[in-house]
Amino acid sequence: MVRVAVAGGTSGLGRLVVNAIKATKKHDVFVLSRKDSDIFASEPDITLFSVDYAVPATITAVLEENRVDTVVSCLHLNSKEASDSQLNLIEGAARASSVERFAPSEFGLDYLEVAKVGLDFHAVAFKVAAIDKLKEFPSLKYIRFITGTFMDFFGPPPNPPQVNVISIIIDPENAKAAIPGDGSSTILITHTTDVARFVAAALSLPDWPEKLIIQGDRPTLNEVVAVAESVKGSKFDITYTSVNDLKAGKSTELPSNIPRYAILPKPIVDGITQTVSIGMVMGLMDIKGAYFCAEMTADTYSTAPKPVVLHIGDPILYNEAIYARFCELYTVIRPSTEERQRPEFIKALKENRWGDFNAIFRPYWSTGGEMGKWDAELISCLPQGVRVFASAGAGYDWADVEELANHGIIYCNSAAACTESVADFALFGILSTFRQLSWCTTAAVDPTSFTRCHLDATALSRNPRGHVLGVIGLGNIGQAIAAKAFAAFKMRILYYDINRKCSEVEAQSHAAFVPTLRDLVHQSDCVIVATPASPDGKVLVNGDLFKHFKKGARLINVARGNLVDEESLADAIDSGHIKSAMLDVHTFEPKVNERLKNRREVMLTCHNAGGTVDTHIDFERLSMENIEAVLSRAEMPNSAVPYNLFALSPSHIFISRPNMPPMLIRHRAANLEAVVDASRAKAQPTSAMKRTCDRYLNREFYAI
């Protein structure tokens, strides 16, 4: 436990720091103020002392009497008088026998580096003076918190306001921007609420280095404007100003600053904005550091707990290097096989055995499913902090993705990982059904069956070339099947999907859209099922649909077994309406339909379409990448299931980064109108995913 005194803790950044320290429930916190105040009257665990900053001895007495060992200065160094107060505070702390550590009010840039360039930067002389003063007391350890520019300056003040700000670079309220240079300069920005938490966490560090760097985001100036425009939903009036003009005192006035001239006169605001803008172009704002929860380096510490990932299933087999990095980013917990059995799994969740984890990671479809279907019973037991469920496999019928969405959880499958292998297997299915390969591969067991097949199979076999292939579901796998079938066999490709694809996708797949499923099967010589199972388990290819198939057509299923009514398929084959079929997936796996398993017209395989080493390598990799996208970068994952995204309610449209600082626009979202397009039900998956990502940026959410 640390006994810490915060100077200037009644308002502004100091108040945020006091609140953050109090929230840790680890330390005793005192506030030093120039005046007596009852501001903390309702908070008995915070003690305020009035001190005379002009007399160091009075400061020493207060610190020693209360056994304070750490002092954090949040004094606003806006004048020589304020600077002198901090210098006296340093002296008073250094002479107190109990004080061991001191943090000066350095929050912002690396002012020692700024001082070297000779730029008349606001308060830089005061910042440097504090470091020079601290060096006079070698026994007093000190730390400089390097935070970059406060993110608060890029939008309206928070409510209630804690830090008095002026607008720099962008004015979201009036859709204007004043960009120094060409906008390509990169800047480090961090919100004051994150800074406060960082300071509170740093109190627990056993040793303080000379500086600690915190990084919120590092966008270019043009990216700052682009994000603001995206959220605002309109283009900004942008003015670019050269460095020479800025040095000559010329700058663009942002309208939101005008009311603030009552507090800070216009010449002062102009001087600040001009100097800061020049510093941005010079690279002074591009302070290199890691994210708030990144790996520690000599000057950059990770002070927040890592997000927790629940790894269900077998250990990683292939991507060891990626998994090692994954484990550096996150605390990974892997329940035992016994713990993954449904009763024990639910019990463990209810008793919070694995803590408040933030993601679920299932790298294999063959293990990790011991707890059964992820339904409302199971999902309701999850911690509130779970944000993403990343699983191997292309299907998701074993998880209620709508219920996951109701809990604000993004579900990601790994269909992209098995696209090539399933598409290749589908081509084998085409050859099998056109060339009677099921008969040909089983008839060689004796001379009689060999001879009969050799003579009779010819009359039943056709070349696929020129025939019509109907693809049900033109997702990634369906597109790959269509493209390969066209390239290999020059088949004519038709497809049906609930959402018609854009012309570019259709051209790349050589596929033409058919508006109804009945029209598709009526025109096709061979039909391939390549669509996810319906969440309600509805059969897609049933007895009624078989009546609309072209007589002598072929059927291939590489999707989900329950999509095809296998009894109706057997009837259609018996009647001769369906010539042949290939099923890689089955309704009651591992059992196959008794009427289909010994027929020479039917090729049955053991759910092998996606089963290659290459697929498993990518299952692992893609699942980890999806989790990292959500937890570490607050980005839309690569393979979020569209149905899950469509079901996310507006209150859940956000990506949180547990223990990570939020993106720039998160802190301004409450002050910007969020426009949400309501036409998501009819959207194409690709555009819907993009729009859903946009919605994440439009929501008020504080990640801290």
423 and 408 inside one domain: no
Q: Of the candidates 448, 452, 512, which has an alpha carbon nearest to the alpha carbon of residue 486? A: 512
Residue 251, CB-side half-sphere exposure with 13 Å CA sphere: 27
Residue 368, CB-side half-sphere exposure with 13 Å CA sphere: 23
From residue 662, alpha-carbon distances to 188, 420, 436 in Å are 13, 37, 59
Q: What is the pLDDT of residues 428-454, one digit of tens each?
A: 999 999 999 999 989 998 999 999 999
| Domain annotation covers residue 273 | no
560 as an active site residue: the answer is yes
Q: Which residue has the tokens 């001895």?
A: 57
| Domain annotation covers residue 320 | yes
277 Cβ contact list (under 8 Å, min separation 6): 168, 169, 178, 180, 241, 246, 251
In this prediction, residue 645 carries a pLDDT of 55
619 and 599 inside one domain: no
Q: Which residues pair with 31 in a beta bridge?
A: 6, 48
In this prediction, residue 677 carries a pLDDT of 23
588 and 630 inside one domain: no
539 and 573 inside one domain: yes
532 and 621 inside one domain: no
From residue 653, alpha-carbon distances to 52, 351, 389, 630 in Å are 50, 28, 16, 12
- Determine how many CB atoms are found less than 10 A away from the CB of residue 132: 10
667 as an active site residue: the answer is no
What pTM did the predictor assign? 0.52
Q: How many structural domains is the chain composed of?
A: 2
530 and 578 inside one domain: yes
Residue where one domain finishes, among candidates 604, 638, 661 = 604
587 and 491 inside one domain: yes
13 Cβ contact list (under 8 Å, min separation 6): 74, 107, 162, 163, 192, 195, 196
589 as an active site residue: the answer is yes
Quick one: DSSP state of residue 579? Answer: E
466 and 585 inside one domain: yes
* CA dihedral (213, 216, 219, 224) positive or negative: negative
Q: Point out the catalytic residue in the list 136, 377, 589, 594.
A: 589
In this prediction, residue 164 carries a pLDDT of 57
Q: How far is CA 149 from the centre of its chain?
A: 24
Q: Of the candidates 244, 245, 227, which has an alpha carbon nearest to the alpha carbon of residue 236? A: 227
Residue 166, CB-side half-sphere exposure with 13 Å CA sphere: 23
438 and 554 inside one domain: yes
573 and 476 inside one domain: yes
Q: Point out the catalytic residue in the list 197, 340, 560, 616.
A: 560
In this prediction, residue 676 carries a pLDDT of 18
CATH code for position 460: 3.40.50.720
User: How far is the first Cα of the chain from the last one, in angstroms, to the nearest whole number?
Assistant: 23
401 Cβ contact list (under 8 Å, min separation 6): 411, 535, 641, 643, 644, 647
Compute the distance between CA of residue 262 and CA of residue 668 in angstroms, rounded to an integer.
23
Q: Point out the catalytic residue in the list 607, 633, 652, 691.
A: 607
480 and 625 inside one domain: no
Which of the residues in the chain have pLDDT under 50? 156-161, 289-304, 649-704
The range of the structural domain enclosing residue 351 comes to 308-413+614-653
| Domain annotation covers residue 372 | yes
588 and 645 inside one domain: no
Q: Is 72:6 a contact under the CB 8 Å cutoff?
A: yes
